[in-house]
Structure 1
Amino acid sequence: MVLSLLAGLLLAGTVTTTASAEDGYRFWGYYQWTNGQWAFAQKGSDAVVPADGSVEGWRYAVGGAKPRVPRAAGDFEAVCGKTPAEAGKKRVALVIDPGTAADSGTGDAPPPASGTCVVTDVKATGAKILSAVEQVRIEKGLTCGIAGYPARGCGDPVKNIKVPATDEPVTLEIGAAVGAASTPSAAPTNSAQVPTEQSDDGAPWTGIIIAAVVVLLLAGGGFALSRRRAGQRA
């Protein structure tokens, strides 16, 4: 993926830099939580197969020689702790940080940072895990938009970037687990206990039966009346 090439350029320090200014890019960076900190991915998300218990991270930002990591820690327990493990599947915590208004390039406030527990097959790649949670816009092999953000643009170069030394941490909005086995509804436990008047399923048949009975009664009455008249004529 182009992401791998971009990562190589950033990590190699080939982005133009000077003592007072630096040029960079506005893009979605891909990270893994490793040894208590975020590490910039060495491969594209379609070539990474996270293990069970892993934490994947995405951050949209203006970055240069030093990547801008997600502003929330990769806390697996906070994201997946309430999601039970499933046989033959893996749980991966996914952190998505759309960055700040300054990162957006338009000044618009980005969506809040989120955390989602993804339960998927053991061979699922980072790309599959991301697409299981949000719609992804791909252009020329590069992840350009996540959940519609940003609506356009892809790895755009930025001149004379101003990167803060540190980012203020954020609290993730933890969403419902994706791909987990559904939990049966608590009510009602026995459908036979549901009163018939609460359901419209029987109403059409009731009407048909009543109409049929009326037709039979009318037909029977007519038949009796005709026999009586025939007897009178005789």
Structure 2
Amino acid sequence: MTAVRRAVPAFVAALLLLGSAGRAGAAGYRYWSFWERGGGHWTYATQGPSFVRPDDGAVEGFRFAVSEDSADASRPRGTADFDTICAGTAAKSGTKRVAVVLDFGTPADAPSGETPPGRRTACARVASDATSADALAAVAKPLRYDTNALLCAIAGYPVKGCGEQVSAGGAAAPAKRPKETGTDSGPSLGLPLGASAVALLAAAAAWQARRRSARRKAE
């Protein structure tokens, strides 16, 4: 038991060191982030575009950039007003209109040898039950997805690559973001390691509590 008690904190410390080292050595991930607009500001979407069903009048944005996680992700730039973007698209029964903002990012965030197109907006008129992914497909083809359903390219940009990890020096590393889920947690390698460490700490605390309780009963 003494050996186990000593090993648990050591293992937890090792996990935390691995997590911090991984984050320190990487600038982030090069990927398309998904945003929803409300109250005059952008909010990082808590779900992937294939899970969101926006209402008529919604404004949604996609930004290509290198970001460490959802907390520091770059927002779409410029104005984003539904009345302006969809001014020429009349309402129609059985459909809805979604204003889409596409920000292809900066040259600094572009993969090697590629140049980002200029920012643009579009008004997607789609079926009333359509998802945000449907709205995007209506105005920004060709789209490219990987085998894990991660959105890799919008309007053909970038030509290659998909959510790759980028080192602090700007080079791409062979790592990818988690696949898209109903609750996109963002690209963070530190998160799984941190969660494991918390779980181990909780288990160690519970074991120590049971041990103290058993000792008191014995006395």
Does TM-score exceed 0.5, indicating one fold?
yes
What is the count of residue pairs matched by the alignment? 148
Does 2:140 align with 1:136? no
Structure 1 CA distance, aligned partners of 2:42 and 2:104?
Answer: 16
Aligned to 2:49: 45
- Aligned-residue sequence identity (percent) comes to 40
TM-score (norm 1): 0.58
- For the pair 1:34 / 2:41, whether they are aligned, the reply is no
Deviates more, 1:105-114 or 1:84-93: 105-114
Kindly provide the CA deviation profile for residues 16-67 of structure 1, in whole angstroms up to 9, marking residues without a partner as x: 545xx75310001111112211111111111000100001111111111411
Match in the other structure for 1:7: none
Q: 2:164 corresponds to which letter in structure 1?
A: D
Which residue matches 2:159? 151
Given that 2:27 and 2:66 are in contact with CA atoms closer than 8 Å, whether structure 1 keeps it comes out as no
In 2, Cα distance between the equivalents of 1:78 and 1:71? 15
* 1:146-204 deviation line (CA, Å, top 9, x unaligned): 11110110001012278xxxxxxxxxxxxxxxxxxxxxxxxxxxxxxxxxxxxxxxxxx
Q: Which runs of 5+ in 2 are unaligned?
A: 1-18, 171-219
Q: Aligned partners of 1:74, 1:101: CA distance in 2, in Å?
A: 22
8 Å CA contact retained: 1:38, 1:74: no
Shift, 1:89, TM fit: 1.3
Alignment correspondent of 1:189: none
Provide Cα deviations, 1:97-127, integer angstroms capped at 9, x if missing partner.
1111111032643111111111111100011
Does the aligned pair in 1 maintain the 2:111–2:158 contact within 8 Å?
no
Deviation at 1:135, TM superposition (A): 1.4
Q: Which runs of 5 or more structure 1 residues have no equivalent in the other structure?
A: 1-12, 163-234
Residue 77 (str. 1) matches residue 88 (str. 2)? no
**Structure 1 counterpart SS, 2:50:** helix
User: Contact 2:126 / 2:134 at 8 angstroms: preserved in 1?
Assistant: no
Q: Distance in 1 between matches of 2:20 and 2:75?
A: 19
1:72 Cα deviation from its structure 2 partner: 1.9
Superposed CA RMSD in Å reads: 2.2
**Preserved contact between residue 24 and residue 161 of structure 1 (Cα < 8 Å):** no
